[in-house]
Structure 1
Amino acid sequence: MLAFFLVPLVIMLVYSFRAGTFIPEYSVFTLDNVRDFLSETNKLRLLWRSTVTSFIVGAAAVVFAYPVAYYLAFRAGRRAISLMLLLILPAMTSYLLRVMAWKIILGPEGALSSLFQTLGFGESTLPGLLYNRQAVIVTLVYVWIPFVALPIYASLSRLDKGLLEAAGDLGCPAWEAFLRVTLPLSAPGVIVGFFFVFIPTLGEWVTPVLVGGTGGIMYGNIIQDEFVNAFNWPAGSVMSIAMLLEMAVFIGVALVLYSVWRRRSLHGGGA
């Protein structure tokens, strides 16, 4: 199964250092594709902008998903399974259908526009809800919340409730027990959930096309354009490799920071 991931990666890597466009010349090794990419500040700027967008989406999804997962793990009781099914039920429908639903909601005749008009906003002062970066962020957060809640719920459900009871017996307030016990022990689920969103949204191109327009364009749209419209596979491969390298760096940094934080938390708890 590993070959299904490695073979396409190797092909992209080979394409990155070959001349030509749609059918690269395999006998010609060149660094021109890399130099061209590094010299195009617009692409680098868009990569960074898309990274920030993906970070915002991942962080927002965690913020909204954590209370849901917490309720399912500690408050739902026998209803946990039923509520879990309701949570993941939207994810079983078509991805495009969910995005198009938000396109209608954010549209000029949608529910939010009607709400703003009810609150007294005229058509001239009505905020633009569609075809911008904010529309992309809102739609992606909605789409990915169920997938973030699941790993967080898995971490919380495995948490030893006796630790929380012990913290309460020692006079620890509920908020402090959450910060010192619950949050550190559920951090693996939070990290998994965050990167479960961050990684795919960084290469997202469908949602920006449907609800983002020119104002919400992302890095994945440029990659798709190089492969599908320009037929410049070497350029698209270089851009894809750059995105994968950035993902690897972010994951590595996150794991290092988590390890340091984990050690300090355990050391502080032991003190």
Structure 2
Amino acid sequence: MGAPLAILNTENKKGLALISAPLGYVIAMLAVPLAAILLISFWTQDFQTFDTTPTLNNYREAVTDPLYRELLFRSIRIAGLVTLVTVLLAFPIAYFISFHVAPSRKSLWLFLITIPFWTSYLIRVFLWKVILGFNGVLNSGLQTVGIIDEPLTFILYNANAVVITLAHAFAPFAILPIFVALEKIDRSLLEASQDLGESKLSTFFRVTLPLAMPGVVAAVLIVFIPTIGDYVTPRLVGGPDGLMIANMIQVQFLRLNNAPMGATLAVIAMLSVSLIALLFVALNRRYLRGSR
């Protein structure tokens, strides 16, 4: 009896030794900064002087101030719309590659999808600024072919430009997990469904889509979570109507010397994202149970 316990203890020690380094890294680089942000959110600051007396005034102001509420709700709306557009456009691409591209060419297609990552994120944002500008590529092209008489003004320096730019930036992040989920689907299940009298459309909604939902869920979370915290794109192409909560957090930290309020807004944004993500996962589980 003692020998198996000794072996088990030795294996546990080896396991702890293996995970100790990455666990320590995660704690140092993720848990500690998050804890620091949470702690600072209960402080107050007067220029360079911190008052460490715990207070809820920052949260009270963040909840009651209409500006902060509007920025948060706008950020959620923009992030949700970006996620919806990105996933809806990514799914057909992933489906085409998985079901209609020869196995020998799938790697090439995936390689082409990753090409946007070869350039800087800032360069891609500036390129969209050039494309969507008042005298940009899109307006000039539409005017040349006679579709419009004067440049469109609703595609730059507003929320629409932010959605377009972010949807392009995060498209590969949505395509790849959906493609992986579609590749795992047993094709014989689709053949069996059609043999039992189901149409191709019905087979898609009753077999393909439910089996691909893990990839869709991953794509939604991968796109939604970082999008709501983006501040570069809203600053460059969003204009006053396209600014998001991350822009206000940046202002609080770097311009107003009010780190506690910036930390408070960051905590509220993180909690909002967590609640929305958990709600989405719960609804997805209910959908999968109903489809069985």
Q: Distance in 2 between matches of 1:151 and 1:170?
A: 30
TM-score relative to the length of structure 1: 0.94
Q: Distance in 2 between matches of 1:249 and 1:2?
A: 23
Unmatched runs of 5 consecutive residues or more in structure 2: 1-24
**1:156-215 deviations in whole A, cap 9, x for unaligned?**
001111100111111211000000000001011111101111111111110011111112
Show the counterpart of 1:121: 148
C-alpha RMSD of matched pairs (Å): 1.3
- Aligned: 1:181 with 2:207: yes
- Aligned: 1:41 with 2:63: no
Q: Which of 240, 257, 260 is matched with 1:234 structurally?
A: 260
**Residue 120 of structure 1: CA displacement?**
4.3
Q: Distance in 2 between matches of 1:36 and 1:46?
A: 14
- Aligned: 1:2 with 2:26: yes
Show the counterpart of 1:269: none
Show the counterpart of 2:95: 70
**Amino acid of the structure 2 residue aligned with 1:69:** A
Q: Distance in 2 between matches of 1:17 and 1:221?
A: 21
**Residue 109 of structure 1: CA displacement?**
2.4
1:79-118 to 2 correspondence within 5 Å?
A: 79-118=105-144
Show the counterpart of 2:83: 58
Unmatched runs of 5 consecutive residues or more in structure 1: 267-271
Show the counterpart of 1:154: 180
Identity %: 38
- Aligned: 1:247 with 2:283: no
Show the counterpart of 1:137: 163
Tell me, yes or no, if the aligned pair for 2:134 and 2:152 is still in contact at 8 Å: no
> Against the structure 1 CA distance between its residues 166 and 19, is the aligned structure 2 distance closer, same or farther, given a 3 Å change threshold?
same
Q: Distance in 1 between matches of 2:85 and 2:155?
A: 18
Task: Tell me which moved more, 178-187 or 212-221.
Answer: 212-221
Q: Distance in 2 between matches of 1:23 and 1:177?
A: 64
Indicate the SS of the match to 1:20.
strand
**1:202-240 deviations in whole A, cap 9, x for unaligned?**
111100111111121111111111011111000000000
Q: Kindly tell me the number of residue pairs found equivalent between the two proteins.
A: 264
Q: Distance in 2 between matches of 1:74 and 1:194?
A: 22
Tell me, yes or no, if the aligned pair for 1:226 and 1:236 is still in contact at 8 Å: yes
**Amino acid of the structure 2 residue aligned with 1:64:** L
Tell me, yes or no, if the aligned pair for 1:117 and 1:126 is still in contact at 8 Å: no
Q: Distance in 2 between matches of 1:202 and 1:92?
A: 23
Q: Distance in 2 between matches of 1:120 and 1:195?
A: 38
**Residue 23 of structure 1: CA displacement?**
4.8
Q: Distance in 1 between matches of 2:75 and 2:172?
A: 22
Indicate the SS of the match to 2:148.
coil
TM-score relative to the length of structure 2: 0.87
Q: Distance in 2 between matches of 1:126 and 1:262?
A: 43
